[in-house]
Amino acid sequence: MTFSIVARSADGDTWGVAVASKFLAVGSAVPAAVAGVGAVATQADANVAYKGLALSHLDEGATASVALQRLIEEDDGRAHRQVGIVDLDGGAASHTGAECIPWAGSRTGDGWAIQGNCLAGVEVVDAMEQAWLESDAEAALQDRLLAALAAGDAAGGDRRGRQSAAMLVVRDGAGYGGLDDVAVDLRVDDHEAPIDELARLLDLHELYLTASTEDEKVVVDDALRTELEAFAASEGHRDFAAWVGTENYEMRVAPDLSWIDERVLAVVRGDG
């Protein structure tokens, strides 16, 4: 009772899963991914053990097809399962058990697997495939995943309705402070428009949890440093670093205040 896309970025350094369903907290059950290993979505009568097992098989060198075959041949409930896998090299595989609630099925291609069950119809996965293939291959993987998910929703999605959505994207060193591989981990557990809410959260994630690019950095000279410290004092903070920490802009301002993100500077100046 879910539709999802599992994919690898065109440059081969990012893997992710996006999923939506008329099911509470679908993100707690369906997606799993590890940078440099691959990604998996387990759904329908989801066997959550598939997540760890699939990633373990992939980590040991199995292709997506081999990993999938190992999963289903060892599972007596395979007729009720649906799963999509993308491996290290972008190989993709998907399984839809014969007992999954119709419409149920999948599409796979180079670096992606799309699957869904209890859908409004085949048009859901068709729309997702089209959105994925027409998206900019150089765009951030999370944006491409969201576009595919939104297209499936617009085409009818889960025929029971909407409730939750989630996205998990991994890349080496992409996590908070560069200390893990989790580039994006967002969940909308219960919402009347979960994909719209996921898009809103992704925008916030971009600001608060993504490091500034070189083009977004404004060099802080003495005059600007004085301006920033005066602003912080006017807001009741001991210094500008304290304001940054209070507002959760750590990824957008240098620890030594040598630069500040242009969007944060706009907030300081009342333009944001």
pLDDT tens, position by position, 235-248: 999 999 999 999 99
Asked whether 54 and 85 are in contact (CB, 8 A), the reply is yes
Dihedral sign computed on CA atoms, order 246, 249, 250, 255: negative
Enumerate the H helices of the chain as residue ranges. Answer: 49-59, 64-73, 123-134, 141-154, 194-208, 222-234, 240-247, 262-268
Per-residue pLDDT of the chain (272 residues), as tens digits, is 799 999 999 999 999 999 999 999 999 999 999 999 999 999 999 999 999 999 999 999 999 999 999 999 999 999 999 999 999 999 999 999 999 999 999 999 999 999 999 999 999 999 999 999 999 999 999 999 999 999 999 999 999 999 999 999 999 999 887 889 999 999 999 999 999 999 999 999 999 998 899 999 999 999 999 999 999 999 999 999 999 999 999 999 999 999 999 999 999 999 87
Asked whether 30 and 42 are in contact (CB, 8 A), the reply is yes
Residue 13 is encoded by which pair of tokens? Answer: 């350094």
Reduced to 3 states (helix: H, G, I; strand: E, B; else coil), residue 174 is coil
* Integer Cα distance of 171 and 184 in angstroms: 9
Percent of the chain residues past pLDDT 70, beyond the cut: 100
* Integer Cα distance of 183 and 204 in angstroms: 13
* DSSP 8-state symbol, 252: G
Instruction: For the chain, list the domains and their CATH numbers.
Output: 2-208 (3.60.20.10), 214-268 (no CATH)
- The whole model's pTM is what? 0.92
pLDDT tens, position by position, 130-145: 999 999 999 999 999 9
* Integer Cα distance of 209 and 94 in angstroms: 32
